[in-house]
Amino acid sequence: MKSIVPTSRVNDPISSHLAEEEINRSGVRENQQEIVYKIVKRFPGLTSRELTQACDLDRYQIARRLADLENSGHVIKGPIRACGLGKRKAVTWFPRGPAQMVLFK
């Protein structure tokens, strides 16, 4: 699940580019992507904050990896609903697959 799409923008500070390089080189990004993909498959329809209950990653790490996984076509956004933990409206997430595609037609 390697991400080849750059996540830092051209005008971001050098620290953002260095952090991106490190997370890619060390394998942390790929490891986090695998963790997040597995929990989305196991618990489809949760928000990024709700997904924190299933692993040791924080909401921000999960949200970044969900964006990676969405860009690579592994997950899709679902309906927006009130998050069970934060009570704010939030996007839900589903693994991409035939069953989920039927759900959103």
Domain boundaries, the chain: 14-103
Centre a 10 Å sphere on the Cβ of residue 34 and count the other Cβ atoms it contains: 13
Q: Write the DSSP assignment of 34-90 as a string of letters.
A: HHHHHHHHHSTTB-HHHHGGGSS--HHHHHHHHHHHHHTTSEEEEEEEE-TTT-SEE
CA distances from 55 to 20, 34, 43 (A): 22, 12, 12
Q: What is the pLDDT of residues 2-33, one digit of tens each?
A: 545 667 778 888 998 888 888 889 889 999 99
On the question of pLDDT at 103 being above 50, the answer is: no
Has this prediction a pTM greater than 0.75? yes
Specify the pLDDT at position 80.
Answer: 97
Q: What is the pLDDT of residues 28-79, one digit of tens each?
A: 999 999 999 999 999 999 999 999 999 999 999 999 999 999 999 999 999 9
The architecture that CATH gives domain 14-103 is Orthogonal Bundle (1.10)
Token pair for 95: 């693994």
| List of residues 6+ apart from 16 with CB closer than 8 A | 8, 9
Gyration radius from the chain CA atoms: 14
Specify the pLDDT at position 6.
Answer: 65
Strand partners, 91: 80
